[in-house]
Amino acid sequence: MNYFSTNFTLGILGGGQLGKMMLYETRKWDIRTHVLDPSNEAPSKIATDYFQQGDLMDFETVYNFGKKVDVLTFEIEGVNVEALEKLENEGVKVYPSAATLRNIQDKGVQKQFYKKHKIPTSPFKVYKDKNDLNEAIVRKELHFPFVWKSCTGGYDGKGVSVIRNAEDIIPLSSEACIAEKLIPFKNELAVIVARNPSGEVITYPVVEMEFHPEANQVEYVICPARIDETVANKARALAEKVSESFRHVGLLAVELFQTEDDEVLVNEVAPRPHNSGHYSIEASYTNQFEQQIRAILDLPLGNTDSKVGGIMVNLVGAEGHTGQVVYKNIDKILAMEGVTPHIYGKKETRPFRKMGHVTIVNKDLDKARKIAEEVKKTIEVVSE
């Protein structure tokens, strides 16, 4: 199939920043694209050949959108799976597949999947709602502290809480959830795996994630992770096993815990480009967005090695600021060594909303980490 400068059409469900960064690559290769997103202000709107505003969870909307494309992918998990299944049955290539997404979309189903496939993960139990959870505590089947996760709809620190006492349960939403054992860990790691329909598989180097203590959001992603080589090899091997089990096509971001005794456990996965791979735009031979396009179009996969050490800093809305966004001191960070800002194009800021990211590249990772801190202190995402 000839994808370049032809009528071949790639459809993307979701038009946020991940879609926008995927479109850098389709523009580079002159691949025609259609994007569906609920917001008329979606970041991807400026870069696609055809944009449609619509509900990603609505069967008819997704189905009718998908009928007009040759290959369909998504940049967000919250899409209508039944529509994807019908499209697949009618011959539209959907990557990752509806079956893969079904096993990932609901965190309860995802955790059961790990158990079934003997993939190491923290001990857990699924509860049908908040009452069910409370009853388990009363019966002393569940003990504080534990990690609460909403089965659906959680992202960027939303839908995840550490529960230390009964008061912490009060603000939780009432839907189905999982309670996980709180694992003491040394590091949060991630590995991105790429796989194409021909079965070629490749992993990116292990990255290390540093989290914001209150927002439960990643503050820094560091590549390569500052860990022992044996742990890195174990993490990449486990990520490949997870990828093999899901039989996904495209990218799979596998988030991991490195325990105190250097075991590696799967926390959760995302079947799409991921925040933990943004560093690759500046630091890798093949960035994650180009790799996603290569994988879903069954092209040869690209080199995942890093050219240079990379650190990514998330730009999130400052607390106490809601409204038209202003990026303060962006000129100051542009004067720093190896610094590249990415602004996602969201016009409205609000506290902790992801508005962009900054990559810092340097042959010396310690130096990059210091510059990253300087960037974090300097740039401010505020409202007018």
319 labeled binding residue? no
188 labeled binding residue? yes
For residue 148, give the CATH number of its domain: 3.30.1490.20
Residues 300 and 313 in one domain: no
pTM of the model: 0.96
CA distance 199 to 134: 45
CA distance 115 to 91: 32
For residue 261, give the CATH number of its domain: 3.30.470.20
| Domain contains 116 | no
Residues 49 and 22 in one domain: yes
Domain limit, last residue, from 307, 331, 358: 307
All residues at 6 or more sequence positions from 21 whose CB lies less than 8 Å from its CB, including other chains: 273, 278, 281, 289, 342
Residues 29 and 83 in one domain: yes
Residues 222 and 141 in one domain: no
Residues 282 and 300 in one domain: yes
373 labeled binding residue? no
User: 69: exposed, middle or buried (C-beta count within 10 Å: 0-12, 13-18, 19+)?
Assistant: buried
Domain limit, last residue, from 155, 181, 207: 181
Residues 202 and 294 in one domain: yes
pLDDT digit string (tens) for 204-229? 999 999 987 776 678 899 999 999 99
Residues 159 and 237 in one domain: no
Segments in the chain below pLDDT 70: 156-157, 215-216
128 labeled binding residue? no
User: 7: exposed, middle or buried (C-beta count within 10 Å: 0-12, 13-18, 19+)?
Assistant: exposed
Residues 194 and 277 in one domain: yes
Domain count, the chain: 4
Distances (CA, A) of 321 to 145, 344, 348, 352: 32, 17, 10, 10
| Domain contains 101 | no
Q: What is the pLDDT of residue 156?
A: 65
pLDDT digit string (tens) for 326-382? 999 999 999 999 999 999 999 999 999 999 999 999 999 999 999 999 999 999 999
CA distance 120 to 114: 7
181 labeled binding residue? yes
CA distance 191 to 237: 10
3-state helix, strand, coil in the chain (%, to 5): 30, 30, 40
Domain containing 360 equals 309-384
Domain limit, last residue, from 273, 307, 341: 307
Task: Specify the 3-state DSSP secondary structure of 373.
Answer: helix
Distances (CA, A) of 186 to 27, 258, 259, 276: 41, 6, 6, 18
267 labeled binding residue? yes
Residue 129 DSSP class? S
Residues 76 and 167 in one domain: no
| Domain contains 141 | yes
12 labeled binding residue? no
The gap between the terminal CA atoms of the chain, to the nearest Å, is 49
Phi/psi at 253 (5° precision): -90, 120
180 labeled binding residue? yes
Task: For residue 12, count other CB atoms closer than 10 A to its CB.
Answer: 27
Residues 210 and 302 in one domain: yes
